């Protein structure tokens, strides 16, 4: 895949192999594959994937009883989370940790669907972040 310039596809296949090794409890091979995937993600500037790999590495290091590395990966995960500003503007919780429904307002701000639904009162769609009126909504 690298020959044709598809570094993203190669990165995803490496991460897929890491997940299989992790599930089959071959933690050393999983670690190698995650680190390879991380190098590619960093090279192509994919911060979201870097963040997710740090989350996986934290779990993996815990299983390997390497608490120092687990702590370090957790800190890197949270730094990237803050850097990308992936927090709901209403509840303040991270938006990238789980498979949750998000809502994008026309002003391009994202929120948890459950949060924006409870925030929305009196049929006025006002963005909690920029306070622009949002007449139209898109649910993801």
CATH code assigned at 114: 3.30.40.10
Q: What is the distance between the alpha carbons of residues 34 and 30, in angstroms, rounded to a whole number?
A: 6
pTM for the predicted model, two decimal places: 0.69
More confident site: 2 or 52: 52
pLDDT in tens, 58-78: 999 999 999 999 999 999 998
Residues 55, 39 contacting (CB under 8 angstroms): no
pLDDT in tens, 88-124: 888 888 876 667 788 877 777 788 888 877 775 435 5
Show the CA angle centred on residue 77, arms to residues 76 and 80, nearest 5°: 85
- Residue 3 pLDDT > 80: no
Provide the pLDDT for residue 122.
37
Report strand pairing: 110-112 vs 138-139.
unpaired
Residues 13 and 62 in one domain: yes
Residues 68 and 100 in one domain: no
In sequence order, the β-bridge partners of residue 106 are: none
Residues 76 and 96 in one domain: no
Show the CA angle centred on residue 13, arms to residues 8 and 14, nearest 5°: 95
Provide the pLDDT for residue 124.
59
pLDDT in tens, 12-51: 999 999 999 999 999 999 999 999 999 999 999 998 899 9
Provide the pLDDT for residue 31.
96
Provide the pLDDT for residue 96.
67
Q: What's the domain range around 66?
A: 7-83
Residue 32 lies in a domain: yes
Residues 77 and 90 in one domain: no
What letter does residue 110 receive in the DSSP assignment? E
Provide the pLDDT for residue 120.
58
């Amino acid at each position: 895949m690298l020959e044709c310039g598809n570094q993203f596809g190669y990165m995803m296949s490496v991460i897929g192999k890491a997940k299989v090794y992790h599930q089959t409890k071959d933690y050393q091979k999983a670690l190698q594959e995650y680190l390879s995937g991380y190098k590619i993600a960093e090279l192509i500037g994919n911060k979201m994937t870097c963040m997710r790999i740090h989350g996986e590495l934290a779990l993996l290091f815990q299983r390997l009883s390497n608490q120092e590395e687990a702590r370090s990966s957790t800190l890197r995960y949270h730094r990237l989370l803050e850097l990308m500003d992936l927090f709901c503007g209403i509840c303040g919780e991270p938006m990238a940790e789980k498979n949750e429904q998000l809502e994008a307002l026309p002003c391009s701000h994202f929120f948890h669907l459950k949060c924006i639904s409870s925030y929305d009162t009196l049929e006025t769609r006002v963005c909690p972040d920029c306070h622009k009126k949002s007449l139209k909504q898109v649910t993801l």
